[in-house]
């Protein structure tokens, strides 16, 4: 008898950004004369830079010649890219990570959703609340989360670590010991970042309790302050307890190109001594035919002198938007967090309004789209996320409209 995967039926509603896209499409259809500005999904708006484009064109030309044509990419990634990552992201910063610990993929979203597959269904996960929805949803799909309680909006088998203004949006070590701990820093959605010291406490905790940390560093390029960890492997002992997920989307503007990677150190083992690096390699071999050659050459170009300079300029461009939002809305009396080491601003919704009500209010009255904080978890209620990934013009105009609403 054919039966659907019952875990999928437990998922709550549609994916957050799909729900928002539907609402915005309906609004646009009903208001064709309005210019809608999206500061919602964290999607980049600047075009690919010159060095990256050249690498893409050159690689495409190679694919068009018999002598340089390539078929399937190696499923773990081309050596040229794995070596560039190991050298430029890790070894040059004094971190010991080897090429064969780096797994190239089509992006951090896939990796952060798929990585849970190498762990037993019995493992207990801990997530920050609010949280990037992929972590929880992918564990719901795997049947790991237990029963959903609609009143508290929580799964019975998930350990939630509230991140609130009260704790500076930094999770506290949980009393109940999780097997898998998801940490994203700089954080999506709150835009706050963990100090190296804070992260080191988590690494010590994970090593002490035999847990694994899945560290999502997709926004690492946005760190501007000293003392914030760019990589979990800056912390002593992390090779024994942490997996790191990285992306080319937010630094080099690859959201539409698709390229990312995951680091699984060979020292990382489960309680029986199983080497998790081998499991992730096995999974890639079976389920993935490698990120395309053209994309991987583009990724390699990110580490060239031109690519590095252009990437820095892109990040600076978006962080100027973050400043425009922070300055403009603070001036209008809003309470804001984040926006300094991350391209996200976490805004306290005014007048005790609910997050989704504020979403509707902004869309209807200012034609500005953001992301309701409650979409990221119950502790996000009363907050609203704005992204700095718009154009300068649209960002300034959105801020002007929001300020105008305040009167
Ligand atoms: C977001 O808006 O949270 C991000 O764009 C999601 C993602 O990178 O997948």
- pLDDT tens digits for range 317-367: 999 999 999 999 999 999 999 999 999 999 999 988 999 999 999 999 999
Q: Within the chain, what is the greatest distance between any pair of CA atoms?
A: 66
- pLDDT tens digits for range 362-392: 999 999 999 999 999 999 999 999 999 999 9
Domains contained in the chain, CATH given: 9-47+307-406 (3.90.1150.10), 52-304 (3.40.640.10)
The protein residue with its alpha carbon nearest to ligand 1, atom 4, reads 42
**Binding site membership of 42 for ligand 1 (Cβ less than 6 Å):** yes
pLDDT number for residue 264: 98
Percent of the residues in the chain that have a pLDDT greater than 90, as a whole number: 98
Residue 275 CA to ligand 1 center (angstroms) comes to: 30
On average, the pLDDT of the chain sits at 97
Best residue among 15, 41, 111, 190 to mutate for probing ligand 1, ranked by most atoms within 8 Å of CB: 41
| CA distance linking residue 114 with residue 142, whole number of Å | 10
Q: Which element (helix H / strand E) includes 302? A: helix 293-302
Residue 62 CA to ligand 1 center (angstroms) comes to: 32
pLDDT number for residue 406: 79
**Binding site membership of 109 for ligand 1 (Cβ less than 6 Å):** yes
Residues 6+ apart with CB under 8 A from 216: 108, 112, 132, 182, 183, 184, 185, 188, 245
Q: What is the pTM of this model?
A: 0.97
| Res. 407: pLDDT tops 80 | no
- pLDDT tens digits for range 126-145: 999 999 999 999 999 999 99
The protein residue with its alpha carbon nearest to ligand 1, atom 6, reads 42
Residue 90 CA to ligand 1 center (angstroms) comes to: 25
- Residue 109 alpha carbon, nearest atom of ligand 1: 9
HEC letters along 346-402: EEECHHHCCHHHHHHHHHHHHCEECEEHHHHCHHHCCEEEEECCCCHHHHHHHHHHH
- Residue 250 alpha carbon, nearest atom of ligand 1: 8
Residue 108 CA to ligand 1 center (angstroms) comes to: 10
The protein residue with its alpha carbon nearest to ligand 1, atom 3, reads 42
Mean pLDDT over 194-215 rounds to 98
């Amino acid at each position: 008898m054919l039966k659907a995967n019952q875990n999928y039926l437990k998922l709550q509603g549609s994916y957050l950004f799909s729900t928002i896209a539907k609402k915005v499409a309906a609004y646009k259809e009903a208001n064709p004369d309005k210019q809608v500005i999206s500061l919602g999904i964290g999607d980049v708006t600047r075009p690919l830079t010159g060095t990256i484009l050249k690498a893409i064109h050159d690689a495409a030309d190679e694919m068009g010649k018999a002598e340089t044509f390539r078929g399937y990419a190696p499923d773990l990634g081309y050596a040229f890219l794995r070596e560039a990552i190991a050298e430029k992201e890790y070894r040059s910063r004094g971190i010991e990570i080897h090429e064969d610990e780096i797994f190239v993929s089509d992006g951090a979203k896939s990796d952060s959703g798929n990585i849970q597959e190498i762990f037993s269904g019995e493992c207990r996960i801990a997530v920050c609340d609010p949280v990037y929805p992929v972590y929880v949803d992918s564990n719901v799909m795997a049947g790991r989360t237990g029963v959903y309680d609609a009143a508290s909006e929580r799964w019975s088998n998930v350990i939630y670590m509230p991140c609130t203004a009260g704790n500076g949006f930094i999770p506290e070590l949980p009393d109940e010991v999780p097997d898998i701990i998801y940490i994203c820093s700089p954080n999506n959605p709150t835009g706050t970042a963990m100090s190296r010291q804070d992260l080191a406490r988590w690494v010590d905790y994970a090593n002490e309790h035999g847990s694994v940390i899945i560290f999502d560093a997709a926004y690492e390029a946005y760190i501007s302050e000293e003392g914030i960890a760019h990589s979990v492997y800056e912390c002593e002992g992390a090779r024994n307890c942490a997996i790191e997920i990285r992306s080319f989307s937010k630094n080099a503007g690859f959201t539409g190109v698709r390229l990312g990677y995951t680091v699984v150190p060979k020292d990382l083992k489960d309680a029986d001594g199983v080497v998790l690096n081998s499991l992730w390699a096995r999974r890639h071999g079976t389920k993935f035919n490698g990120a395309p050659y053209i994309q991987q050459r583009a990724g390699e170009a990110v580490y060239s002198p031109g690519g590095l300079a252009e990437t820095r300029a892109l990040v600076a461009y978006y962080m100027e938007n973050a400043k425009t939002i922070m300055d403009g809305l603070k001036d209008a009396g809003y309470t804001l967090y984040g926006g300094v080491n991350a391209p996200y601003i976490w805004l306290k919704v005014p007048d005790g309004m609910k997050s989704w009500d504020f979403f509707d209010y902004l869309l209807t009255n200012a034609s500005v789209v953001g992301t309701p904080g409650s979409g990221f978890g119950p502790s996000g209620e009363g907050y609203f996320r704005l992204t700095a990934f718009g154009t300068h013009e649209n960002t300034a105009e959105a801020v002007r409209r929001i300020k105008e609403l305040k009167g």
